[in-house]
Amino acid sequence: MLSNHPERTESHPLLSASTPEALHQKAMLIHDRLCQVYGCPIPYFHHDSDPLSELVSALLSHRTTNRSSGQAFRQLRQQFETWEAVRDGDVAAIQAAIAPCTWPEQKAPRLKQVLQKITERRGELSLDFLEDLSVPAARAWLEELPGVGPKTSAAVLCFSTLQRPALPVDSHHHRVAQRLALIPSHIAVGPSHVLLFAQLPPDWDGQQVYDNHEVLMLHGQKCCYYRNPACQRCAVLDLCPYGQSRLTQSSR
- The answer to whether 154 touches 139, Cβ cutoff 8 Å, is yes
Both 144 and 223 in one domain: the answer is no
Distances (CA, A) of 249 to 32, 243, 252: 28, 10, 5
Both 74 and 129 in one domain: the answer is yes
> Whole domain around residue 193: which residue ranges?
2-43+168-250
Both 79 and 101 in one domain: the answer is yes
Q: What's the pLDDT tens digit per position in 243-252?
A: 999 988 876 6
Both 140 and 186 in one domain: the answer is no
Percent of the chain past pLDDT 90, that is, above it, reads 87
Q: How far apart are CA 223 and CA 207, in angstroms?
A: 23
Residue 11 DSSP class: P
Both 110 and 188 in one domain: the answer is no
The Cα diameter of the chain in Å comes to 66
Both 28 and 110 in one domain: the answer is no
Question: Of residues 189 and 4, which shows the higher confidence score?
Answer: 189
pTM for the whole structure: 0.91
Q: What's the pLDDT tens digit per position in 165-207?
A: 999 999 999 999 999 999 999 999 999 999 999 999 999 999 9
Both 59 and 155 in one domain: the answer is yes
User: What is the CATH number for 94?
Assistant: 1.10.340.30
Both 141 and 214 in one domain: the answer is no
